Each structure stands twice: as C-alpha cells, then as structure tokens.
Amino acid sequence: MAGSDLGGRVAPAGRVSRPKVGVLALQGDFREHLLVLRELGADAVPVRRASELDEVAGLVIPGGESSVMDKLSRTFGLAEPLKKRIAEGMPVYGTCAGLILLADTVRDAIAGQQTLGGLDVVVRRNAFGNQNDSFETDLDIPELGGPPVHAVFIRAPVVESVGPKAHALGVLDDGRVVAVEQGPLLGTAFHPEVTDDYRFHSRFLDKVRG
C-alpha cells in the first residue's frame, strides 16, 4: 500500500479522499483515536450528540468502561441513532469497550447494561482480569499482511463465540478470539491506538472510503 511501512503507519499519500469520521467521545481514550485517524489523513471529529453523528461517514468506539458508555449514550440520546446507523451499514470500529458495545451478546454485563449490537459475536467483559492483569503480545493477522501486530490488552474482553455472520481476524495462542470483522464492522479486544501500528485504523478507513 502506498505510503505505508512495516510498522503499519499509513500516510495519506496517494489518497484523494479525506473522509469525515467520528470517535465516540463520551468516555474513554477517544483522544488517542482522533490523533491516529488524523495522522492517517481523515477528518476526525469527536461525537457526543446525534447531530454530530449525522455528519460522519464512520465511527470509532474507543476503549473505556462499556457500562458507562452505554449509560451515557442513552442519556445523551445517542444509543438509538447509533443502532440505526449501524443497521444501515455505517462502518464502525470498536476497541476493547467498543467491541463490547458492538457485540450482539455480552456475558458478565452489569445489571441493565445494553449494547448497540451489530457484531454476531458473544463477548465476555474483563475476560483477562483487572487492570493489573493487562498484558502485551504479538498476533499474526494474515488479512493485514506485514509483520505481527503488537497487541496491548488492558482489562480486555474476549470473544467467546463467533456467529456465522462474523469471522475471526486475530486469535491468541490458546485459541481465544480477540479480533473480529463483519462487513463494515470491525472489533478488537486490544488497543492499537496506543502503539505505532495503525493497520486496523487503516482497514477501518478503507471501509469508510469503500
């Protein structure tokens, strides 16, 4: 890919399109995603209300606390518009808590917790333990090409089962699924935005441009 290197950083060289994409900015590490997307040539903006969601062609849902994001999205009137845009095919990339929000089914959810849905997967919250159990590892992701992805897991979920509509992109050595894709939807249990490898963000932007 023009403008890319083995680290996964992709410059906007050769790209005539500067898509306007949003990052859900209710809670979590949305600032890091905004920086990555802008470096990749996107017009990236924070999204906190439905009117802002109407203006973007794709959305990143960042890591953070999934139950808090769920409550805030409903409080700010974003949950139903988000579900509608997802159902209509808007490209969405969810990392960590974002993956939980995109999952059709969540295990170990707190009482009353809801998801936006869209990904035909079952996800378990905090599958690897608490903050002290965070870890890093390298993952082979054939669809991305290049070297392994250095994945950072922070209070991460895990995909316990993948339905027929979705497929696994990344799997740990023990067989647990930590990256999935389903048409315009992309989800990772880890945090590419805290590394120098932006291939997952580039894949998301390709969906938006496509």
User: By C-alpha distance, which of 85, 107, 206 is closest to 159?
Assistant: 107
* Catalytic-labelled residue, pool 33, 181, 193, 201: 193
Q: What is 20-209's CATH topology? A: Rossmann fold (3.40.50)
Mean pLDDT of 143-165: 95
This prediction's pTM? 0.90
Whole-number Å distance between alpha carbons of 175 and 196: 25
Whole-number Å distance between alpha carbons of 86 and 116: 8
- 33 catalytic? Reply is no
Cα of 57 vs its chain's centroid, Å: 15
Q: What is the largest CA-CA distance in the chain?
A: 48
* Catalytic-labelled residue, pool 33, 96, 181, 201: 96
> Under 8 Å CB-to-CB from 175, ≥6 apart: which residues?
none
- What percent of the chain has pLDDT above 90? 83
The pLDDT of residue 133? 63
Tell me the pLDDT tens digit for each residue of 58-115: 999 999 999 999 999 999 999 999 999 999 999 999 999 999 999 999 998 899 999 9
Tell me the pLDDT tens digit for each residue of 181-195: 999 999 999 999 999
- Whether the pLDDT of residue 124 is over 50: the answer is yes
The pLDDT of residue 130? 59
Q: Quickly state the pLDDT bin for 8 (edges 50, 70, 90).
A: very low
Tell me the pLDDT tens digit for each residue of 18-40: 999 999 999 999 999 999 999 99
**Burial class (CB within 10 angstroms; exposed 0-12, middle 13-18, buried 19+) of 13:** exposed
- 96 catalytic? Reply is yes
Q: Hey, where are the domains in the chain?
A: 20-209
The pLDDT of residue 7? 42
